[in-house]
Amino acid sequence: MTRSASHSQFEIGDGCDRAAILNRLWRVLDPELDEPILQLGFVRSLQVGDGEAVIGLQLPTSWCAVNFAWLMAEDVRNALITVPGIERVTVRLGDHCAAAEIEAAVNSGKTFAEAFPGEGFGSLASLRLVFLRKGFLGRQQRLLRELRSVGFSPEQICALRLSEISVKSDVGETVRRYLERRAELGLDCSPSAPLIVDLNGNEVPLDQLDSYYRDARTVRVAMEANGSFCRALLAARRPNQRTGGNDVPT
């Protein structure tokens, strides 16, 4: 599957693996929204050549939370530095209020705490976990909704095991994303494990499925509302340029 509307500011030199580069970037998410930054339109420019990648990001506002901006900048660097042939990555954050500090640290491989000493931020591991858990609920709710739409009853959903659902099914892409996040959280992904489990890996009983679904839906709707708000803010910053898209294989 591809995302249409190629970006005029993408310059990937001859001999560079364009598909690999864009696939790695496609997997960089806004941590709060659980959406690809390419799809959101946060990647404004990309130049790759002679072993170096220079990527320019533009977030919805210049005052987006420093820790959120850091996570995206760090994830972009980590994604690109793993592409064969790319030896150096430079991330630019444009007019973000902490661009200088974030760029200097991320581009040299320093930690968040090293970039902001004495600020009491510490590790961002706990924040990442919060976002991973929210994303899990959002992805799971989509899966539950799609299973219902193709005719699965609550009883059938609760009885499903991972071996009984395929990424090649009618809900395959949603299953794939759900299992990907489930694995990231260290939850059981063995074939005999229940398809629907809570954040602690416990099977969701039939008599609790509806309330669990409603709670997960609340999380998903809030994430989607935040995503719409971010798109609107970014569009206001670029009145003559469509945000989102890019010719990206997935």
Model confidence pLDDT, tens digit, residues 76-93: 999 999 999 999 999 999
Query: pLDDT tens across 8-65, in order?
Result: 589 999 889 999 999 999 999 999 999 999 999 999 999 999 999 999 999 999 999 9
Where do the domains of the chain lie? 2-124+228-249, 125-224
Residue 4: pLDDT band by 50, 70, 90 thresholds? very low
Q: Which CATH class is domain 2-124+228-249?
A: alpha beta
C-alpha to C-alpha distance for 13 and 10, rounded to whole angstroms:
10
- Is the pLDDT assigned to residue 7 strictly greater than 90? no
Nearest Cα residue to 65 out of 121, 134, 136, 118: 121
- Is the pLDDT assigned to residue 243 strictly greater than 80? no
To the nearest whole number, what is the mean pLDDT of the chain?
A: 90
Whether the CB-CB separation of 210 and 144 falls below 8 Å is answered with no
Residue 117: pLDDT band by 50, 70, 90 thresholds? confident
- Is the pLDDT assigned to residue 225 strictly greater than 80? yes
- Is the pLDDT assigned to residue 6 strictly greater than 60? no
- Is the pLDDT assigned to residue 198 strictly greater than 90? yes
C-alpha to C-alpha distance for 55 and 73, rounded to whole angstroms:
10
Residue 238: pLDDT band by 50, 70, 90 thresholds? confident
